[in-house]
């Protein structure tokens, strides 16, 4: 059963119409829930699966409306002093409010809020189609991605052209192609402008993968990507010649060789601090660039095979941890196997000039805002209680905060305190409290059970 609503009903402020549509869909699904999927006829399964999809679409539309309403509430408005900072706004405060109840990272919460606000305010027809269950969240995101940076008149014309029967019949890939075609037809002269905006969005992201690996994702100009790919291909061929000369031409696949060529770009820069074109790697908090490897002292001494940990990525085998700790471009942290606390740290890569800064950064590891995982070495060091208000410059009053959350703390509606060193408590304007506890640096072992008494 498909519930059709007028657009105005679908996006009503109260969300009552959307809830009614969800209830109607759920009544259709009650049989599946009561008797189980095995009791449903084969020719009815696909219809019920589609009904589930419509419920998820309608719920997302309702959620988007609620999030947009949260952003509008005066409780989430930052202080007037925040007007000079683009990162401190009602949207960023709403994102911080939602990190804990939705168990999201800071970036995920910001994306959810931005997407919801954009959907409700800029694309009401798409929001209404989502509320009616005509499109799913995937296709709604395609519309936002393809039209979000177009001039409003172009975006509105293209949205009107695809919403309706056409969008219901297209999958996400087909919809993206159709949108691109319509945009180029309506506004060919804006191609250069769109290119400039796209180029401004270039970036590199590094994210953890499984089993001690990581993903490196880069968005760059197509010509730069082509040049990089040419270097990787040429380097892979050179490595193949090297492997062949060594008598093992199948030692590595082509993909492995390309990855190895890319990896070889980093060690020299980390070891020397030198980059191309006379650039040098900078320093944060008077600390040169370094990569932290956490190694239990028992592992470092070869007395155990307890895994180490590469900062930001997770566990690595004991052998790899020992090798990295011995190399000059890494900073290693020796930890107590009983409580995971830092016992010592190597200084083979750089010499810190401020022991207190060193202690706080090693203790906290990341930004201490809810859901944020930016490394502490890339954060500001904040006096939790302002220095001007009598706050001491000590480990119990210093914490790393990324620039955005640092500004939100000072100009947003949140109250922040540090009940104990390494623990930050954030109280939102709606009364919700989120505690960001101390970072566990090393592995922790439970003490052995006491022996049975001999009597």
Instruction: Delimit the domains of the chain by residue range.
Output: 7-199, 205-264, 283-345, 355-436
Pick 18 or 400 by higher pLDDT. 400
- For residue 290, the model assigns a pLDDT of 55
Question: Of 158-172, 282-296, 408-422, which range is least confident?
Answer: 282-296
The arithmetic mean of pLDDT across residues 37-62, rounded, is: 89
pLDDT band at 37 (very low <50, low <70, confident <90, very high): confident
Distance of CA 121 to the CA centre of its chain: 24
The arithmetic mean of pLDDT across residues 83-112, rounded, is: 93
- For residue 269, the model assigns a pLDDT of 67
The arithmetic mean of pLDDT across residues 58-62, rounded, is: 96
- For residue 283, the model assigns a pLDDT of 54
The arithmetic mean of pLDDT across residues 29-53, rounded, is: 83
Q: Is the pLDDT of residue 143 over 70?
A: yes
Q: Is the pLDDT of residue 329 over 90?
A: no
Q: Is the pLDDT of residue 4 over 60?
A: no
Phi, psi of 452 (to 5 degrees): -65, 140
List the structure tokens of 393: 């410059």
Percent of the chain with pLDDT over 90: 36
Task: Give how far Cα 238 sits from Cα of 225, 268, 276, 383, Å.
Answer: 20, 19, 22, 52
- For residue 274, the model assigns a pLDDT of 65
The arithmetic mean of pLDDT across residues 13-34, rounded, is: 73
Please give the helix or strand (H or E) that residue 360 lies within, else none: helix 355-364
Q: Is the pLDDT of residue 138 over 50?
A: yes
- For residue 181, the model assigns a pLDDT of 83
List the structure tokens of 39: 């009791």
Question: What letter would DSSP give residue 171?
Answer: -
Please report how many Cα atoms fall inside a 13 Å half-sphere around the Cα of residue 190, on the Cβ side.
18
The arithmetic mean of pLDDT across residues 337-348, rounded, is: 50
The arithmetic mean of pLDDT across residues 249-278, rounded, is: 77
List the structure tokens of 18: 């959307």
Pick 331 or 82 by higher pLDDT. 82
List the structure tokens of 342: 């830092």
Q: Is the pLDDT of residue 355 over 50?
A: yes
- For residue 89, the model assigns a pLDDT of 94
Question: Of 26-30, 241-245, 251-255, 317-321, which range is least confident?
Answer: 317-321
List the structure tokens of 218: 């880069």
Q: Is the pLDDT of residue 381 over 70?
A: yes
Burial of 153 (0-12, 13-18, 19+ CB in 10 A): exposed
- For residue 122, the model assigns a pLDDT of 97
Distance of CA 178 to the CA centre of its chain: 29
Q: How far apart are CA 455 and CA 441, in angstroms?
A: 41
Q: Is the pLDDT of residue 346 over 50?
A: no
Query: pLDDT, tens digit, for every residue of 186-237?
Result: 887 776 677 788 889 999 998 888 888 899 999 998 778 878 888 888 888 8
**Taking Cα atoms as reference points, which of 124, 31, 80 lies closest to residue 412?**
80
Q: How far apart are CA 435 and CA 302, in angstroms?
A: 37
Question: What letter would DSSP give residue 154?
Answer: H
Looking up tokens 């004991």, which residue turns up? 318
Query: pLDDT, tens digit, for every residue of 282-328?
Result: 555 544 445 666 767 666 666 677 777 776 666 777 777 777 666 54
List the structure tokens of 11: 């996006």
Please give the helix or strand (H or E) that residue 330 lies within, else none: strand 330-335
Pick 13 or 350 by higher pLDDT. 13
pLDDT band at 80 (very low <50, low <70, confident <90, very high): confident
């Amino acid at each position: 059963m498909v519930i059709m609503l007028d657009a105005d009903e679908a996006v009503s402020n109260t969300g009552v119409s959307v809830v009614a549509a969800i209830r109607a869909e759920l009544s259709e699904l009650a049989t599946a829930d009561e008797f189980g999927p095995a009791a449903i006829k084969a020719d009815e399964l696909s219809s019920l699966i589609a009904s589930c999809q419509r419920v998820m679409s309608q719920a997302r539309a309702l959620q988007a409306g609620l999030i947009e309403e949260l952003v509008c509430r005066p409780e989430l408005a930052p202080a007037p002093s925040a007007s000079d900072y683009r990162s401190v706004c009602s949207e960023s405060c709403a994102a911080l409010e939602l990190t804990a109840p939705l168990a999201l990272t800071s970036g995920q919460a910001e994306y959810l809020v931005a997407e919801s606000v954009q959907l409700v305010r800029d694309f009401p027809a798409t929001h209404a189609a989502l509320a009616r269950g005509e499109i799913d969240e995937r296709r709604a995101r395609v519309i936002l991605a393809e039209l979000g940076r177009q001039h409003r008149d172009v975006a509105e014309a293209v949205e009107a052209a695809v919403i309706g029967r056409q969008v219901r019949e297209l999958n996400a890939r087909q919809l993206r192609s159709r949108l691109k075609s319509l945009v180029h037809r309506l506004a060919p002269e804006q191609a250069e402008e769109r290119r400039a905006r796209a180029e401004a969005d270039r970036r590199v992201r590094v994210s953890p993968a499984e089993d001690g690996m990581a993903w490196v994702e880069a968005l760059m100009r197509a010509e730069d990507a082509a040049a990089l790919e040419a270097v990787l291909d040429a380097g892979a061929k050179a490595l193949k010649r090297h492997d062949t000369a060594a008598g093992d031409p199948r030692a590595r696949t082509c993909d492995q060789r390309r990855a190895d060529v890319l990896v070889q770009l980093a060690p020299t820069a980390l070891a020397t601090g030198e980059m191309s074109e006379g650039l040098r790697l900078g320093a944060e908090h008077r600390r040169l660039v370094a990569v932290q490897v956490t190694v239990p002292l028992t592992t470092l001494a070869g007395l155990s095979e307890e895994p180490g940990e590469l900062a930001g990525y997770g566990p690595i085998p004991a052998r790899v941890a020992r090798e990295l700790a011995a190399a000059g471009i890494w900073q290693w942290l020796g930890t107590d196997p009983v409580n995971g606390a830092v016992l010592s740290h190597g200084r083979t890569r750089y010499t810190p000039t401020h022991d207190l800064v060193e202690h706080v950064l090693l203790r906290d590891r990341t930004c201490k805002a809810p859901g944020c995982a930016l490394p502490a070495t890339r954060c500001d060091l904040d006096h939790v209680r302002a220095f001007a208000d009598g706050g001491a410059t000590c480990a119990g009053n210093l914490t790393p905060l990324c620039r955005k959350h640092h500004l939100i703390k000072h100009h947003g509606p949140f109250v922040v305190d540090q009940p104990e060193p390494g623990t930050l408590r954030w109280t939102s304007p709606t009364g919700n409290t989120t505690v960001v506890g101390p970072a566990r640096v090393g592995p922790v072992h439970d003490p052995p059970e006491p022996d049975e008494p001999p009597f």
